[in-house]
Chains A and B, each alone.
Chain A
């Protein structure tokens, strides 16, 4: 453990140079992801000296400004020693700081953040952009994660004030109508693309009207044109419709999202030229201004996209992902499994006992299996993220796993898995989360009444360690001391864990089955020991409900995400997060670790999925296409693909390497709450609020895939309309929404949910 800790903290400290620790919990942006604790900041000079080596190549000036901002902060807090060190390391002289100090801090603490943020995608933007936006963007970085705190109010005003300059309210209607008429009259091939402009324009024009106190005009405008918008924006429109006064705009998160994040559109060059020419001819400055200030138009060369292509990708709160956002290299391969010698004699014995004749070939297969897993070219290096060392018990578990794996059923369209359904009876709609251990021996449920309950589904009862007084009586020299410390008297099939003070929304077992994580409405993530059945740590950091949490497949790390829009990466032995992933525009609803533990995927109410690099905290993928909050994510076992399910009842499949949507599975009629790939990845199981478990042919979905270079380069997708062919089975439960799915090591599918009479 110690080694692990050192490793990650080091890399983290390297990043700390760039940390902008203005205020706890809110001063974060994409590149800034470390915990903001002073302990790490005041790190030893040694580690600081390596600072900057990992920095993304940004302009020197920007770097300097960042440093200056940090210096200012340190000074303000009388951390003179750190100031000295930092100044020496960065080679800044006193006067540069003083002279530039003013302008760097001019935009408040957000200045540095803003610059870093704008570096990511905007640099090569083709659009000439008005410089006004930089202040807005800078504020955005600060704003996004923080809500309602008093100190943020000035920034809100900065954000909003951009709306103030506008003209005659009566003309908005005319502007919009004339644009509408124009777009309806253009050639078919351009119409679909240009229609994308409607929604963001509508929103911004409406907000401008509201901001300038033209309440009646705003209402009329809304009523007239809201019906034209795509149906998947209905949720946002509902929020907007309620907002009719300037006062409402303050503190409304949805509004801030619209305002602070540029709505991203992908339009072909021809279509864009058409639009531009039209607006300039008509002197339609109003709309032109909005397009320039609030929209980000990602222009590509080539054929305009069709309506279906656009519809497949749109739907998120802030438009599509920029193409640049998905260009980073992702090491999606699996890590090499450690070599473990399977005790062959054991295997043989068992085989003999079971079938009478030993199968000599089995052990060979095993060793073959491990050898064939040579380093995957797409895999990250083994120690890219320091992982905990294997304990003896882990090795034993691995051996068990391999043994079980040999008995695994190979699934396919002709051999569907059996499904065992665990119904929670008498839960009275109070079941909010379920998890099953990897070896399928324990089931845990999180409930709305703040409890966490753990069941043993094997004949082995749950035992806890005896109390201290009893433990002192035990003969510590005896061989079976590990047995003796367990209290047989209180052994039972289920245990209840009390500690949370709100509904438990996320739950996750550690891979070694010693710990359990639970996240709750009360804003904490709790770590429970399954030896003593007590709470070990309460991780505080999210001040708002934590919707989901999950252990890394290698243990030790875990990720959590919640209403505060920030996903946090934690290590069990640190009470503060190691990384903070911020960028989502709305609640983070689900979090999943990549099988190689190097990446974390988060799904959000802003209808996007983001993939984050654990090493540096960068957002490496943004997937748009869902039309509702995402409630389920699953990585394929080979790490190449991601499946996601949302309230819109659709499952989308993503190719992580290329950053593309590759499939759409339609069939469910309600929110999908669970997704799981079979152990070998042939079958994808999805469980939904509509009381069904559906099985999909994942192999076929991925096999049909032909990713040509063109698709990869442009991000244009052609989704095959074959989801009915891929559906292998639909299994209806009586009245039990499916909350969790799990494949056992032998590929038996376990489903769980609460019976709702």
Chain B
């Protein structure tokens, strides 16, 4: 293996054609083949040499990526004049051209009008470097705070649940058991485990003892989640969805949810059921948790919320349908993430839904739930399970809608089932069924629902055509649960329109969420405020981010923008700015090596230390 690689190293030389092409580009017409060979060997050697020197700079710069400035420094070392000029903020791709049997890759060198560059608005001033302290370890134990990686990484949780007999690495094992704070007990326990493991490879019994802080956290969170204050609930759910240290508390939460659903279904307490489902959603959203172990508690709770006969006190008025939809989406999401060949979640769930749907005695509410649950599982399921039954279901609806004696509740139920079927089936049919859309044809194929389906399909087709025309917009997803159930991440909700910019105040701190240690005589930097704005990449909205920097120093700007690189252009900009008494500057996220990053990174590398998350958007630092 290594040998092969070395051989390659030895032989890699620039092709002589490149030499020819380059010679032509500078006006040397006929270059001898021999000179080409000599040149290419020499050039290859020099390039290798420079790359090797550049690596030194990378190592001393304490980076893993080689940057253009490393190459510049290496050139300087060799007494070669570095490359001057404009540093593009974007990735410039190679252009390809062929003709006359030759292929050419080249950079397009456009002539740039200096005044254009000067007149373009300045890039944003990057956020200033700041220092932040946190505890990496307290007397040998790593605290579970957002600044630290999760104590039990998701991968480990996954292997634990899928391959429970596999030995866990000793270091990690210790970390996760010691987490329980009760150090003396767990240490002793740990020894026992090793002994056991050595003898018969049993899965270690792990103790789940919560620290006082964790108990307090659990109490606060659960109270907030089912309490009456919506703002508090939003914060609590946000914490569940983002906090990395919840691994230990997961069993408690899942029990809380399953018990809560059991009790509240009996009492028909719709509001509480919704809150509990939102907790499930938040747990699923948490990137550090792997729920597989707790599905036996969560799935029954979720399925209950989908298919239960009655979920609310007044089924004719209350909107329990939304809860069924929401829960169905959760179900689909967990099927997608956790279904494996061993647990067969998806097939089991599908079987359950179909069985009760096929039952004639099933009530409309349950029927609705089954259909919703199935259709959320994806177009394939719709195609194979729902479409064939459309005619039968249509007849049933017809019987209720047009039949003589019906209770109001049945009618509402049938109505909802109808619109649900139309919504989900239309999009699938639009994709699979060939044109034209003939009403009669639809009627023969799908019976009672045919004509309505036809009009829906037509609508879906035009919408799809419209969307295809539209430019692919950069939209932003925020995994922030909104007060309503409308934001769901299942991705199957069809075509959400362009989102309106939403301004969300990031909670500055959730004091109860973890015992944040006081740093030793460490003045925390002044509380920085971040406003996260969702925005498309358009320039129109940049007006919002303006701020005024009253006094600045030419040299300062020069350094900020160019990172110490003396490029002619930046210098010019500095002088240009100095002519103003103030300048309007847009803050921007500086990307040190644009060439190495995909272009969209320009707007998505913002990091919010409050939540320790990356936001795909601009973050403005308010001075």
The answer to whether A606 has its CB under 8 Å from any CB of chain B is: no
Q: Hey, which chain A residues are within 8 Å of B79, CB to CB?
A: 148
Question: In the complex, what's the smallest C-beta–C-beta distance from A520 to chain B, in angstroms?
Answer: 10
B136 touches A629 (CB 8 A): no
Candidate in A498, A544, A693 with the most chain B CB atoms within 10 angstroms: A498
B129 touches A427 (CB 8 A): yes
Query: With the chains together, A423 CA to B136 CA distance in Å?
Result: 11
The answer to whether A431 has its CB under 8 Å from any CB of chain B is: yes
Query: Per-residue 0/1 for B515-557: is the Cβ within 8 Å of any A Cβ (1 yes, 0 no)?
Result: 0000111110100000000000000000000000000000100
Q: Hey, which chain A residues are within 8 Å of B566, CB to CB?
A: 501
Q: Hey, which chain A residues are within 8 Å of B609, CB to CB?
A: 425
Count: A-B pairs, CB below 8 Å: 203
B45 touches A545 (CB 8 A): no
B59 touches A755 (CB 8 A): no
Query: A419 and B147 in contact (CB under 8 A), knowing A227-B2, A424-B129?
Result: no
A241 touches B129 (CB 8 A): no
Query: With the chains together, A252 CA to B45 CA distance in Å?
Result: 11
Candidate in A421, A458, A459 with the most chain B CB atoms within 10 angstroms: A421
A459 touches B56 (CB 8 A): no
Query: With the chains together, A53 CA to B361 CA distance in Å?
Result: 113
Within 8 A of A (CB), among B115-138: 126-138
Contact of A245 among B45, B59, B63, B522 (CB under 8 A): B45
B10 touches A226 (CB 8 A): yes
Contact of A238 among B9, B42, B132 (CB under 8 A): B9
Q: Which residue of A lies closest to B150 (CB)?
A: A734
A242 touches B49 (CB 8 A): yes
The answer to whether A173 has its CB under 8 Å from any CB of chain B is: no
A238 touches B52 (CB 8 A): yes
The answer to whether A733 has its CB under 8 Å from any CB of chain B is: yes
Q: Of A11-19, A400-408, A444-452, A576-584, which stretch is located at the interface?
A: A444-452
Query: Per-residue 0/1 for A602-622: is the Cβ within 8 Å of any B Cβ (1 yes, 0 no)?
Result: 000100000000000000000
Contact of A755 among B62, B73, B127, B607 (CB under 8 A): B607
Query: A242 and B135 in contact (CB under 8 A), knowing A227-B6, A425-B129, A448-B563?
Result: no
Query: Per-residue 0/1 for B385-403: is the Cβ within 8 Å of any A Cβ (1 yes, 0 no)?
Result: 0000000000000000000
Query: With the chains together, A245 CA to B135 CA distance in Å?
Result: 56
The answer to whether A107 has its CB under 8 Å from any CB of chain B is: no
Q: Hey, which chain B residues are within 8 Å of A589, CB to CB?
A: 60
Query: A418 and B129 in contact (CB under 8 A), knowing A428-B590, A547-B60?
Result: no
The answer to whether B157 has its CB under 8 Å from any CB of chain A is: no
The answer to whether A484 has its CB under 8 Å from any CB of chain B is: no
Within 8 A of A (CB), among B39-92: 41-42, 44-45, 48-49, 52, 56-57, 59-65, 67, 69, 73, 77-79
Query: A425 and B559 in contact (CB under 8 A), knowing A227-B2, A734-B148?
Result: no
Q: Hey, which chain B residues are within 8 Å of A757, CB to CB?
A: 605, 607, 614
Candidate in A428, A431, A754 with the most chain B CB atoms within 10 angstroms: A428
The answer to whether A737 has its CB under 8 Å from any CB of chain B is: yes
Q: Of A35-43, A378-386, A724-732, which stretch is located at the interface?
A: A724-732
Q: Which residue of B lies closest to A587 (CB)?
A: B56
Q: Which residue of A lies closest to B47 (CB)?
A: A242
Q: Please report the total number of A residues contacting B with Cβ < 8 Å.
A: 87
B69 touches A605 (CB 8 A): no
A420 touches B61 (CB 8 A): no
Within 8 A of A (CB), among B462-506: none
Query: A449 and B564 in contact (CB under 8 A), knowing A418-B138, A458-B523, A503-B61?
Result: yes
The answer to whether B3 has its CB under 8 Å from any CB of chain A is: yes
Q: Which residue of B lies closest to A744 (CB)?
A: B520
Q: Which residue of A lies closest to B519 (CB)?
A: A420
Query: With the chains together, A344 CA to B135 CA distance in Å?
Result: 35
Query: A426 and B139 in contact (CB under 8 A), knowing A238-B52, A241-B9?
Result: no
Query: With the chains together, A748 CA to B139 CA distance in Å?
Result: 9
The answer to whether B7 has its CB under 8 Å from any CB of chain A is: yes
Query: With the chains together, A673 CA to B63 CA distance in Å?
Result: 11
Q: Which residue of B lies closest to A562 (CB)?
A: B60
Q: Hey, which chain A residues are within 8 Å of B131, CB to CB?
A: 422-425, 443, 455, 457, 494
Within 8 A of B (CB), among A512-565: 521, 544-545, 547, 563
Q: Hey, which chain A residues are within 8 Å of B404, CB to CB?
A: none
Contact of B62 among A432, A453, A732, A751 (CB under 8 A): A432
B521 touches A419 (CB 8 A): no
A226 touches B3 (CB 8 A): yes
Query: Per-residue 0/1 for A385-425: is the Cβ within 8 Å of any B Cβ (1 yes, 0 no)?
Result: 00000000000000000000000000000011111111111
The answer to whether A429 has its CB under 8 Å from any CB of chain B is: yes
Query: A521 and B563 in contact (CB under 8 A), knowing A425-B609, A733-B149?
Result: no
B9 touches A426 (CB 8 A): no
Query: With the chains together, A487 CA to B510 CA distance in Å?
Result: 38
Query: With the chains together, A596 CA to B368 CA distance in Å?
Result: 82
The answer to whether A198 has its CB under 8 Å from any CB of chain B is: no
The answer to whether B599 has its CB under 8 Å from any CB of chain A is: no
Query: A734 and B64 in contact (CB under 8 A), knowing A243-B45, A422-B132, A424-B131?
Result: no
Question: In the complex, what's the smallest C-beta–C-beta distance from A528 to chain B, in angstroms?
Answer: 17
Q: Which residue of B lies closest to A421 (CB)?
A: B136
Question: In the complex, what's the smallest C-beta–C-beta distance from A751 to chain B, in angstroms?
Answer: 6
A241 touches B6 (CB 8 A): yes
Query: A416 and B69 in contact (CB under 8 A), knowing A226-B6, A227-B2, A755-B607?
Result: no
The answer to whether B171 has its CB under 8 Å from any CB of chain A is: yes
The answer to whether B598 has its CB under 8 Å from any CB of chain A is: no
Question: In the complex, what's the smallest C-beta–C-beta distance from A521 to chain B, in angstroms?
Answer: 6
Candidate in A243, A427, A449 with the most chain B CB atoms within 10 angstroms: A449
Q: Hey, which chain A residues are within 8 Å of B523, CB to CB?
A: 456-459, 493
Query: A234 and B2 in contact (CB under 8 A), knowing A458-B523, A729-B140?
Result: yes
Query: With the chains together, A733 CA to B146 CA distance in Å?
Result: 11
Q: Hey, which chain A residues are within 8 Å of B69, CB to CB?
A: 448, 503
B126 touches A426 (CB 8 A): yes
The answer to whether A696 has its CB under 8 Å from any CB of chain B is: no
The answer to whether A677 has its CB under 8 Å from any CB of chain B is: no
The answer to whether B21 has its CB under 8 Å from any CB of chain A is: no
Q: Hey, which chain A residues are within 8 Å of B521, CB to CB?
A: 457-459
Question: In the complex, what's the smallest C-beta–C-beta distance from B189 to chain A, in angstroms?
Answer: 18
Query: A421 and B135 in contact (CB under 8 A), knowing A242-B48, A426-B126, A547-B60?
Result: yes
Q: Hey, which chain B residues are within 8 Å of A502, CB to CB?
A: 73, 564
Q: Which residue of A lies closest to B127 (CB)?
A: A426
Query: With the chains together, A498 CA to B559 CA distance in Å?
Result: 10
The answer to whether B287 has its CB under 8 Å from any CB of chain A is: no
Q: Hey, which chain A residues are within 8 Å of B9, CB to CB?
A: 238, 241-242
Question: In the complex, what's the smallest C-beta–C-beta distance from A114 to chain B, in angstroms?
Answer: 28
B140 touches A416 (CB 8 A): yes
The answer to whether B164 has its CB under 8 Å from any CB of chain A is: no
The answer to whether A636 has its CB under 8 Å from any CB of chain B is: no
Query: With the chains together, A346 CA to B27 CA distance in Å?
Result: 83
Query: With the chains together, A732 CA to B609 CA distance in Å?
Result: 18
A-B contact pairs, 21 of them (CB 8 A): A219-B11, A226-B3, A226-B10, A241-B9, A248-B45, A416-B140, A419-B137, A420-B133, A421-B133, A421-B136, A422-B132, A424-B131, A426-B127, A429-B63, A448-B69, A493-B523, A503-B73, A545-B60, A728-B140, A734-B148, A748-B520
- Across chains A and B, which 5 residue pairs bring their CB atoms closest together, nearest first? A227-B3, A416-B140, A450-B564, A419-B136, A242-B48
Chain B residues near A (Cβ < 8 Å): 2-3, 6-7, 9-11, 41-42, 44-45, 48-49, 52, 56-57, 59-65, 67, 69, 73, 77-79, 126-140, 142, 147-149, 171, 519-523, 525, 555, 559, 563-564, 566, 590-592, 605, 607, 609, 612, 614
Chain A residues near B (Cβ < 8 Å): 148, 219, 222-223, 226-227, 231, 234, 237-239, 241-245, 247-248, 252, 415-432, 443, 445, 447-451, 453, 455-459, 493-494, 498, 501-503, 505, 521, 544-545, 547, 563, 587, 589, 605, 629, 631, 647, 671, 673, 689, 693, 728-734, 737, 739, 744, 748, 751, 754-755, 757
Name 5 extra pairs, CB < 8 A, besides A237-B6, A242-B44, A430-B563. Answer: A226-B3, A416-B137, A421-B135, A443-B131, A455-B131
